[in-house]
Amino acid sequence: MSKIYSTPPTLNRERRFPDNMQAAHALALKAKQGRKGNRTGERYALPAFNVTNIQGINSAFTAFETLGSSGLMAFSNSALKHMGGGDPLFGLEVASDYVARKAARSSVQVATHLDHGDYISEQGRRVVQAAVSALTSVMADNSTDKVNKAGLPLEDNIGYTREVVNMAHPLGVSVEGELGVLAGEEDEDTKSDVSTYTEPDELARFLRETGVLMLAPTIGTMHGANKGRPGHKVKLNIPLAHELLKIADGINDEIIFVAHGASTMYEDVRDYAVEQLEALGAPFDGTAQTWKDFVGTDWEQIKGLIGAGFCKINTDTENRQTFLAALLGAVNKNAAKVDIRWYEKQMWDAVSASYIQKLIMAGNYGVWHEPKIDVEQFVFDLHSV
């Protein structure tokens, strides 16, 4: 590990990315400052959608372009493996190339982000290094050792994160750090059972010594589909979030907080899935119960976080749930339809609608052009997708 001997490099804002692409930080800063077109208004947020293939990218673009939103697509290590036929580096090439081509013909500006980049293991490090040259933003998640599943000492987290900043900032690629341990499953390779809050004292030191402009503090959110027990939703520590924001703004008011595990549970999606499972009959009774037990984070609480500077909110579970619910609906509608495209259209149209719903909730519309739909009138209902 390299020694920390000078101030971290600042983000190179002169970097020119392919047409209509920007560093995630540039788009998130615009959101923190409430800028849309030439106007300045209320703070909004960028939902980061975890995409896993070409259709997912297309669905995300459909949503961004419908609303004139700032777009953010995140790729996890396992998603890159999935896209690359087992090779995350090839997946990275395919993903970044496709997004750049898609962005070039888009009406909005987008960013690409490596989710939970692991700079500790040898293999993870190769992906982070490749992502720095292929994407516009990377997460250097060094708060836990993914292989040994243990929290990492602060010094090590700072050291590893700083190495990524040294490499990424001169290229204009923004870096997101993580401070504290978030409970739940992040990815198939990364999970932890306990969650710890970010310590305010450690925050200032981490920000100063790493130079990151984006940070995921832990304030009570959880990864996965069960954020608490049924009937007992997780409670986020919003006062702590505000305390942390004050410290961060005191160091640099361009620092963006990131909420992980911020998926809400769309009750209509859950009800739709249960309805479909009940129509499929007795063998699916247990599955219907599993669906009934899913718990998301309350949107009201997430909204509180946006007020506290969390302008990147990671949402994955809710879109996976939407995909699965739509798949169940498609089977019920026509299980003899021998047409891959028809099935895919059912699922991806639903996911697009799920994205549109979240972008509206986050206030991220009308940024690059007026929305093409009446935002007030939009109803997210899988029966009508």
Q: Does 227 bind Zn ion (CB under 5 A)?
A: no
Please select the residue that binds Zn ion; options are 36, 113, 227, 260, rule is CB under 5 A.
260
CB closer to Zn ion, 108 vs 183: 183
Other CB atoms within a 10 A radius of the CB of residue 1 amount to 10
* Angle of CA points 338, 341, 342, to nearest 5°: 65
The region of 16-24, 61-69, 225-233, 260-268 touching Zn ion under the rule CB under 5 A is: 260-268
* Least distance to Zn ion, CB of residue 223, Å: 6
* Least distance to Zn ion, CB of residue 79, Å: 12
What distances in angstroms separate CA 362 from CA 35, 165, 214, 287, one per listed residue? 14, 28, 18, 31
* Least distance to Zn ion, CB of residue 306, Å: 17
The region of 15-23, 75-83, 232-240, 257-265 touching Zn ion under the rule CB under 5 A is: 257-265
Q: Is 129 left (phi over 0), alpha (psi -120 to 50) or beta?
A: alpha
Total binding residues for Zn ion by CB under 5 A?
A: 2
> Phi/psi at 185 (nearest 5 deg)?
-95, 120
* Least distance to Zn ion, CB of residue 186, Å: 5
Measured CA to CA, the distance from residue 214 to residue 257 in angstroms comes to 6
With CB atoms as reference, the residue minimizing the distance to Zn ion is 260
Measured CA to CA, the distance from residue 331 to residue 343 in angstroms comes to 8
* Least distance to Zn ion, CB of residue 314, Å: 5
Helices (H), 152-308: 154-168, 200-210, 238-251, 267-280, 285-293, 299-307
* Least distance to Zn ion, CB of residue 370, Å: 32
CB closer to Zn ion, 106 vs 192: 192
Measured CA to CA, the distance from residue 223 to residue 192 in angstroms comes to 9
Measured CA to CA, the distance from residue 180 to residue 151 in angstroms comes to 8
Whose CA is closest to 208, among 170, 245, 252?
252
Measured CA to CA, the distance from residue 186 to residue 116 in angstroms comes to 8
* Least distance to Zn ion, CB of residue 76, Å: 8
The string over 306-316, giving b where at least 16 C-beta atoms fall within 10 Å of a residue's C-beta and e elsewhere, is bebbbbbbbbb
DSSP 4: -
CB closer to Zn ion, 8 vs 177: 177
User: Which residues from 166-195 bind Zn ion, rule CB under 5 A?
Assistant: 186
What distances in angstroms separate CA 161 from CA 139, 151, 166, one per listed residue? 9, 14, 9
CB closer to Zn ion, 102 vs 223: 223
Measured CA to CA, the distance from residue 29 to residue 13 in angstroms comes to 12
CB closer to Zn ion, 118 vs 186: 186
CB closer to Zn ion, 102 vs 260: 260
Whose CA is closest to 189, among 146, 238, 153?
146
* Least distance to Zn ion, CB of residue 253, Å: 24
The region of 8-16, 258-266, 303-311, 336-344 touching Zn ion under the rule CB under 5 A is: 258-266
* Least distance to Zn ion, CB of residue 150, Å: 18
CB closer to Zn ion, 109 vs 195: 195
* Least distance to Zn ion, CB of residue 191, Å: 11
CB closer to Zn ion, 162 vs 223: 223
User: Which residues from 1-30 bind Zn ion, rule CB under 5 A?
Assistant: none
CB closer to Zn ion, 95 vs 114: 114
CB closer to Zn ion, 260 vs 358: 260
| Binding site residues, Zn ion, CB under 5 A | 186, 260
